[in-house]
Amino acid sequence: MHSTFIRWRRLDRPGHDVARLTDTETGPILEGTAVFVEDDQPCRLDYRIELNTAWRTMSVRVTGLLGVRTILVDIAVGGRREWVMNGRACPDVYGCDDIDLSFSPATNLLPIRRLGLGTGQQAPARAAWLRFPACVLEPLDQNYERVAHSAYRYESAGGFTAMLTVNAVGFVTCYPGWWKEESSDPSAWHNRNR
């Protein structure tokens, strides 16, 4: 098995996220931990997403704490793309291929890898958006356009757009106004945070 790591710093409020992508015979596994402030309360969320070999989401688990509130989300996705969260069917997101975690930049990786766009190509993607802190699943229509080798124009329903910079794996390294990859060089991190 091969693993790739990335670490982000949140730009709109205090927070960090660390993710690991592991290749397995049955499909990739994306897991990580996000630590941030939500509604003036400390929050820590651990996430694990299992994907099939076509990069479609098969299961999602999110656990953690928001202040004194315990967070536990278990999602299973059936073969016909039917989504079930904590034992309850979620028909609004049936047919979606990707989970989109509202608190992390990690899940932009999923449609980027699944769509496999060449430069100049674009494609729609309808995600099951896990909105936090409500912990509800909602459909979110998105569009990805690969404008350069390492850049995508992202657009979601409602007119939100962002220019995403990505690395060779497909992880977002810059999500303007929201997230930025932190250097993996400890001395660079130390010098920047003096």
Residue 184 is predicted with a pLDDT of 56
Helix (H, G, I), strand (E, B) or coil at 137: strand
Residue 191 is predicted with a pLDDT of 41
Contact 44, 65 (CB under 8 A): yes
Round to whole Å and give the CA distance between 91 and 140: 13
Residue 39 is predicted with a pLDDT of 92
Contact 28, 22 (CB under 8 A): yes
Residue 1 is predicted with a pLDDT of 76
Contact 83, 90 (CB under 8 A): yes
Residue 194 is predicted with a pLDDT of 39
Amino acid at 170: G
Sequence-distant (6+) residues with CB within 8 A of 116 are none
Residue 183 is predicted with a pLDDT of 73
Q: What is the dihedral of CA 116, 7, 17, 86, to 10 degrees?
A: 40
Round to whole Å and give the CA distance between 15 and 144: 26
Round to whole Å and give the CA distance between 5 and 25: 19
Print pLDDT tens along the chain (194 aa). Answer: 789 999 999 999 999 999 999 999 999 999 999 999 999 999 999 999 999 999 999 999 999 999 999 999 999 999 999 999 999 999 999 999 999 999 999 999 999 999 999 999 999 999 999 999 999 999 999 999 999 999 999 999 988 999 999 999 999 999 999 999 997 544 443 344 43
The residues facing 136 across adjacent strands are 131
pTM for the model: 0.92
Task: Please give the C-alpha separations between residue 10 and each of 32, 37, 104, 151, 182, in angstroms, as whole numbers.
Answer: 15, 10, 9, 19, 10
Round to whole Å and give the CA distance between 33 and 12: 18
Helix (H, G, I), strand (E, B) or coil at 144: strand
Q: What is the dihedral of CA 33, 129, 109, 164, to 10 degrees?
A: -100
